[in-house]
Chains A and B, each alone.
Chain A
Amino acid sequence: MITAKEKSVVFYLFKRVFRQLLFVFMWFLIGGVIFPMTLSLITGSNYNLLQAIRSLELGPTFYLVIGCLALLSYDDFKLLIQNGVSRYTYWKAKVITFIGISVLSQTIAIIYFFLMRLILNGNRWEDYSLFMQVYGGFFKNTTIAYLVSFIFAILSAGVFSLSCILVGSIFSLFTKRQRRLIILALITLFIVGIATISNTYQHIAFNAEPWFVNTLNFLVGYDKGGTLNPTMPFIDMVLLGIIVCFGSLQVIKRFKIRNE
C-alpha cells in the first residue's frame, strides 16, 4: 500500500538519484573510454575502442555508485521535512527508490554484458560472477545457473544499497565535525587493526574456533559432504536486507534538523 504522498516522494528521489547516476556514468564513460582514446590520439599508442566497450564493468560500477548515493541522507531529509514529509515516508520512499534503481541498473548491466558477449565476443559472465564461481557447479542446467546468479546479483545489489542507507543514516545523525572525527577514528582503527593482524599472524598460525568455522559454513551453505548449497546466500541476503531495512528505519526516525 503506497499513499499519494509516498508516490510523490519516490518520484522525487528516483528522479534525483537517476540524474546523479547518469552524471557519474557520464564521467565513467569519459574516464574509461574517451580519455584513453584521446590520450592514444595524442601519444600515437594503440587503442582498441571495441575492447574498451566490451570490457566496461557496468554491474560493479552501478553497484558502487548507487551505494555511494545511498549514503547521502541528510540533504534529502532537510528538503523533505521542509515540504511536510514525515521521516517514515522518507525512509519508505528511499528504500523503494534504491531497491528499484538497483534492480534496474543491474538488469541493464546484465543485458549489456550479454549483448557484448553475443555481438563483440565479450567476457564470460561466469568469470565475473562470484556466485557462479562458488555455486555454479551446484546446478545441472546452465540456464538455471545463469538465471539464479542474475537474481542473486540483483538481490545483492539491492541489499548493498540498503546497507549503505543504514550507514549513511547513522552518519547523518552527527554534525560535520563529528563525522570527520569518526571517519578519522575509523581509518586509524583500520590501519592499526591491519598492522596488528599482520604482525600477530606472521608468527602464529591462524586457528579459528570450531563454532566460528561452523557458523561460516552454515552461512555459505557448505555441508560436510563438500557441496555448497546456493539457497543459503539467498537466505543470508534476505535476512541482511530485513535487518538493515529495520535498522535504517530506526535511525531515520531519529533524524532532526541540526544546528549547522
Chain B
Amino acid sequence: MEGIVVKGIQKNFGKKTVLQDVDLQIKPGKIYGLLGRNGAGKSTLLSIIANRIFPNMGTITLDGQTVFENDKALGQMYLMSERNLYSKSSKLKHLLGTTELLYGNFDYEYAYQLAEKFSLDLNQKFGKLSTGYRSIFKLIVSLCVPAKYILLDEPVLGLDANHRELFYREMVDNYVKTGKTFVISTHLIEEITNSLEHIFIIKNGQIIIDGDVEDVLNKAYLVSGPAKEVAQYTAGLNVIGQEKLGNIQGDYVFGKLDSERVLPDTVTVEKPNLQKLFINLTNTKEENK
C-alpha cells in the first residue's frame, strides 16, 4: 500500500506558478500536516489531489492508480475545503443522505452523536449556517464518511476554541479507531502539533520540508546567549532565523550542529517548537531582519 503519491506537480494560474515540481507521498494510517503561509499553494495542492482542478504537469496516484477521473480512487478520499460545494438550499440531514448514497456506509450514528456534541441542528439548511457551523458540518461528514484519506483544508475556520479542542479530540479518537489517514492544512500549528506525525512544509509552491515531526524537530536548534558568542558559535551553520533582545541573541539553526565546536558557558542550546521552526523556515529575508 503506497498510498497517495504526488509526482512532479506543477500548477500555473495565468503567468503565476503556484506549485512547482511538488513530490510527496501520503502513506496510509498517519496524520499529516501540510503547513505553509497564505498563498503557499496548500489549497491548490489538495484540490489537485482530490481531482477538483487540473495540474499543468505531474501525476497523482493512489496505490498505483491515477486519481484523475478515477471513481474508485476518488471514493477513497474526502476533501473538506474552505469552499462550500454543498447546495445552500439543502437540509443538512439530506446532505448526509447524499453522502451515504455516493460514498456508501456512512456512519449516521456517529454523525448524530457529533452533531449533538457540537450543538448542530441537522434539520437546518446549509445556507443558513454561520461560517463556523458550516465548517463543523463538513468536519462531521469528514469524520463519518468511509473514505480512507481525509484531506482537511483549514478545518477549524471560524470555530471557537472549545469547538476546535473538541474537533482535535474527535479526530485523534477517530484516527485511533479507524486507522484513517488525515492530511491537515492549517495555520494554527501550535494547536495541532501534538496530533501530527509527519509534516510537509510548503513555501512558494515548493515542498521544503518532508519528514516525521520528531525527526524534523531533532534537526532544529535555538542557540541563545550574548550576541557575539552566539554569532561565533553559529557561524557557517544553517541559520534560518534570528531573534534579538538588547545584547541577547537567539539563532535558529536547522541542520546538524558542529560537534567539534565548544559551546561557551554563556550560550545555551534548546529545541524550538514546531511553530517557531515553521515561522523561521517560511519567513522572507525582510521578515527575518
With beta carbons under 8 angstroms apart, the residue of B69, B76, B99 that contacts A83 is B99
Q: How far, in angstroms, from A8 to B97 measured CA to CA in the complex? A: 12
Please determine whether B85 and A81 come into contact, CB atoms closer than 8 angstroms: yes
Interface residue ranges of A69-98 to B (CB < 8 Å): 75, 78-89
> Which of B49-57, B109-117, B164-172, B204-212 sits within the interface?
B49-57
Q: Is the CB of A84 within 8 A of B74?
A: yes
**Quick check: is B262 within 8 A (CB to CB) of the other chain?**
no
* Interface flags, B44-86, vs A, CB<8A=1, else 0: 0001001111100000000000000111001111110001011
A87, B50: Cα distance in complex, Å = 12
Residues on A with beta carbons closer than 8 Å to the beta carbon of B74: 84-86
Inside 8 A of B77's CB, which chain A residues have their CB? 84
A157 part of interface (Cβ distance < 8 Å) = no
Which residue in A5, A84, A257 is a CB contact (below 8 Å) of B83? A257
Q: Which residues of B contact A8 (CB under 8 A)?
A: 101-102, 104
Residues of A within 8 A of B83 (CB): 257
In angstroms, how far is the closest chain A Cβ from the Cβ of B141? 9
Q: Decide if B69 touches A84 in the complex (CB within 8 Å).
A: no
Output the nearest chain B residue to A11 by Cβ-Cβ distance.
B101
Chain A CB within 8 A of B87 CB = yes
Q: Does B147 contact A (CB under 8 A)?
A: yes
**A260 vs B98: C-alpha distance when bound (angstroms):** 23
**Once bound together, how far apart are the Cα atoms of A33 and B157, in whole Å?**
50
The answer to whether B101 and A12 touch across the interface, beta carbons within 8 angstroms, is: yes
Contact with A along B27-57 (1 / 0, CB 8 A): 0000000000000000000010011111000
Report yes or no: A82 in contact with B75, Cβ–Cβ below 8 A: no
Q: In the complex, what residue of chain A is closest to B97 when comparing beta carbons?
A: A12
Q: Which residues of B contact A88 (CB under 8 A)?
A: 69
> Within the complex, which residue of B53, B54, B75 is in contact with A84, where a contact is CB–CB below 8 Å?
B75
Q: Does B103 contact A (CB under 8 A)?
A: yes
- Rounded to whole Å, the gap between the CB of B8 and the closest CB of chain A is 20
A57 to B112, CA, bound (A): 46
Interface size on A, residues (CB 8 A): 22
Q: Is the CB of A256 within 8 A of B52?
A: yes
Question: Contact string, A1-35, partner B, CB cutoff 8 A, digits 1/0?
Answer: 00101001101100000000000000000000000
* Chain A residues closer than 8 Å to B147, beta-carbon distance: 84
- State whether B85 touches A78 (Cβ < 8 A): yes
Min CB gap B185→A, angstroms = 16
Bound CA–CA A254/B33 (angstroms): 30
Closest chain A residue, CB of each to CB of B67: A86
Given contacts A81-B85, A87-B69, contact A9 B52 (CB under 8 A): no
Q: A77 CB to closest chain B CB, in angstroms?
A: 9
A-B contact pairs, 23 of them (CB 8 A): A5-B71, A5-B102, A9-B102, A12-B98, A12-B102, A78-B86, A79-B86, A79-B87, A81-B50, A81-B51, A81-B85, A84-B74, A84-B103, A85-B71, A86-B70, A86-B74, A87-B69, A88-B69, A89-B71, A256-B53, A257-B52, A257-B83, A257-B85
Closest 10 CB pairs of A and B: A83-B102, A84-B74, A82-B85, A78-B85, A86-B69, A257-B52, A84-B75, A256-B53, A5-B71, A86-B71
Q: With contacts A80-B102, A83-B103 known, what are 15 further pairs, Cβ within 8 A?
A: A3-B71, A11-B101, A12-B101, A12-B102, A79-B86, A81-B51, A84-B74, A84-B75, A84-B78, A85-B102, A87-B69, A88-B69, A256-B53, A256-B54, A257-B83
